Structure 1
Amino acid sequence: MQNTIHTLKKGEKAIIKDFDIDLVPLKLLEMGCLPGSLVELLQVAPFGDPLYLDINGSHVAIRIETAREIEVELIKTNL
């Protein structure tokens, strides 16, 4: 199964692996949403859309449709 931002749970961190540049808004690219960037899911709106993220220290809200297009690699944490 491919992990995307929309599959993250609150508090999980991941590294952006890949996305279709035509499906991700230019504003996100300008804010550092690029392959290799660290992303953390901070909050989910009551009806599941939008998602509130920390991407390399920038807090952004993205639509679920966009989150489904950004492939990530989950960072494992040892508790």
Structure 2
Amino acid sequence: MMLKQLAVGDRAKVSGFAEAGGPYRRKLLSMGLTPGAELEVVRVAPMGDPVEIRVRGFALTLRKGEADALNVDKL
């Protein structure tokens, strides 16, 4: 499942990275989005870009390309 498929209030666990997400992988890892990390969708902009999530106790805003690179499992 992709991060963009989650609605506000949904919780998920990072399961990995999309094949096409290579350029963003290192950036996402440095921001704490490692496999197994739990996150919650806080806000989504009207056009779906950006999306705000809460991970490891802090708020993080991801652009569409970054969010598309992240695979999650809904909790």
TM bin, normalised by shorter chain, reads 0.7 to 0.9
TM-score, normalised on structure 2? 0.83
**1:64 positional shift:** 1.4
SS, match of residue 23 in structure 1: helix
For 1:6, the equivalent position in structure 2 comes to: 4
- Amino acid in structure 2 at the alignment position of 1:48: G
SS, match of residue 42 in structure 2: strand
**1:28 positional shift:** 2.9
Distance 1:7 1:43 in 2: 13
**Deviations 1:32-60 (Å, cap 9, x if unpaired)?**
11100001110011221000011121211
Higher-Rg member (1/2):
1
Compare the two structures and name the one with the higher helix fraction: 2
Asked if 1:45 is matched to 2:53, the reply is no
For 1:36, the equivalent position in structure 2 comes to: 36
TM-score, normalised on structure 1? 0.80
Query: 5+ residue gaps in structure 1?
Result: none
Q: How does 1:10-29 map to 2 (within 5 A)?
A: 10-20=8-18, 22-24=22-24, 26-29=26-29
Q: Over aligned residue pairs, what C-alpha RMSD do you find? A: 1.7
Amino-acid identity (%): 30
For 2:72, the equivalent position in structure 1 comes to: 72
